[in-house]
Structure 1
């Protein structure tokens, strides 16, 4: 089954390689979507893929990358739509 989520990750997640690590993890899990920094210091990602891979990515977001410190993860389930290969938005 295909799932799609919007994820907002807060904490020390900008300037520490979080987006690059998220892209690597998403591509490993064969997810589609994107990740970007937000003006409030958090990171937002939209992912699309099989439910198991989405769950794995969400769990990874809760742990974060090597130099990040995740304080919170907010999820919003979305209606699955067409997304391209996982990218970093600037």
Structure 2
């Protein structure tokens, strides 16, 4: 797929999103949607996601991130465009 047809987004998910399997669940959802990128916990308790893929798949992941896995309580999501990057899959980045 041409880079011109892909969306590149960085998401910051705020709320109760650590300690509830948010990263692994996000990875599973992203892989089902055929997305590439990564997810990681941040020291302030939020989760950061960088995602690359088709506009419809990125929109579907963003919709899923609004609620996340059972046990999560998402308060808000900041979404910004980010530069294209080459990823071979979707990774959980661990500290």
TM range (shorter): over 0.9
Unpaired runs of at least 5, structure 2:
none
Q: How does 1:21-36 map to 2 (within 5 A)?
A: 21-36=25-40
Residue deviations 1:12-45 (CA, integer Å, cap 9, x gap): 0000101111000000000000000000000000
Aligned to 1:73: 77
1:4 aligns to 2:13 (yes or no): no
Over alpha carbons, which structure has the higher Rg?
2
The structure that is strand-richer by fraction is: 1
Give me the TM-score of the superposition, normalised by structure 1: 0.96
How far, CA to CA, are the matches of 1:81 and 1:33 in structure 2? 8
Unpaired runs of at least 5, structure 1:
none
- Divergent runs of 4+, >6 A: none
Task: Quote the offset at 1:83 in angstroms.
Answer: 1.7
Residue deviations 1:45-75 (CA, integer Å, cap 9, x gap): 0000111000100111111111100001000
Report the aligned-residue RMSD.
Answer: 0.8
